Amino acid sequence: MKKIFAIILSVMMVASLAIIASAETPLTATAPATTVASADFTTITATPDKTSVSAKGDKIVVNYVVSNNAGIMVLTMGRISTVVPTGLTLVDEKDGGLFGAPTTGANNVLYLMDADSKANGILYTATFEVAVDVKEGDTFTFSVPTIVAANYNEQAVQVNCVNATVSKAACTHANTEVRGKVNASCTQSGYTGDTYCKDCGKKIAEGTVIGQFLHTGGTATCTKKAVCTLCKQEYGNVNADNHPGTKVVNVKAATSTTEGYTGDTVCTDCGKTLKKGEAIAKIINPPTNDNSIVTIAVIAVLGIAAIAGAAVVYNKRREF
Task: State the Cα–Cα distance between residues 166 and 30, nearest whole angstrom.
Answer: 17
More confident residue, 214 or 17: 214
**Helix spans in the chain (H):** 2-22, 290-319
314 in any annotated domain: no
Asked whether residue 270 falls in the same domain as residue 131, the answer is no
Q: Could you report the per-residue pLDDT of 114-133, keeping only the tens digit for each? A: 999 999 999 999 999 999 99
Task: Write down the pLDDT at residue 17.
Answer: 40
H helix and E strand count, the chain: 2, 24
**What's the distance, Cα to Cα, between the start and end of the chain in Å?**
198
Query: Are both 34 and 15 inside the same structural domain?
Result: yes
* Percentage of the chain modeled with pLDDT above 70: 77
Are the CB atoms for 48 and 142 separated by under 8 Å? yes
Instruction: Note whether residue 311 is domain-resident.
Output: no
229 and 243 in contact (C-beta within 8 Å)?
no
Q: Are residues 218 and 123 in the same domain?
A: no
Contacts of residue 49, defined as CB under 8 A and 6 or more positions apart, other chains included, come to 60, 61, 62, 63
Is there a single domain that holds both residue 50 and residue 194? no
Shared domain for 231 and 270, answered yes or no, is no
Task: Render pLDDT for 256-307 as a digit per residue (tens, 0 to 9).
Answer: 899 999 999 999 999 999 999 999 999 987 765 555 555 665 566 666 656 6
- Taking the C-alpha atoms of residue 115 and residue 156, their distance in angstroms, rounded to an integer, is 14
Check whether residue 13 and residue 143 sit in a common domain: yes
DSSP 8-state secondary structure symbol assigned to residue 156: B
Query: Is 90 exceeded by the pLDDT of residue 68?
Result: yes
Question: What is residue 145's predicted lDDT score, i.e. its pLDDT?
Answer: 95
**Same domain for 224 and 162:** no
Q: Where among 191, 210, 229 does a domain terminate? A: 210
pLDDT at 160: 93
**What residues form DSSP beta bridges with 78?**
108
| 192 part of a folded domain | yes
Residues 27 and 15 in one domain: yes
- In a shared domain, residues 193 and 121: no
> How many Cα neighbours within 13 Å face the side chain of 34?
27
CATH assignment of the domain containing 163: 2.60.40.680
Question: 191 lies in which domain range?
Answer: 176-210
Indicate whether 234 and 252 sit together in one domain. no
* Residue 28 pLDDT class (50, 70, 90 cuts): very low
Residue type, 294: V
**Domain-located, residue 302:** no
127 and 183 part of one domain: no
- Asked whether residue 44 carries a pLDDT value surpassing 60, the answer given is yes
Q: Looking at the domain assignment, is residue 304 inside a domain?
A: no
pLDDT value at residue 36: 36
* 298 within some domain: no
pLDDT in tens, 84-115: 999 999 999 999 999 999 999 999 999 999 99
Note whether 31 and 59 are same-domain residues: yes
Confirm whether pTM is higher than 0.85. Answer: no
Count of domains in the chain? 4
To which H or E segment does residue 168 belong? strand 164-168
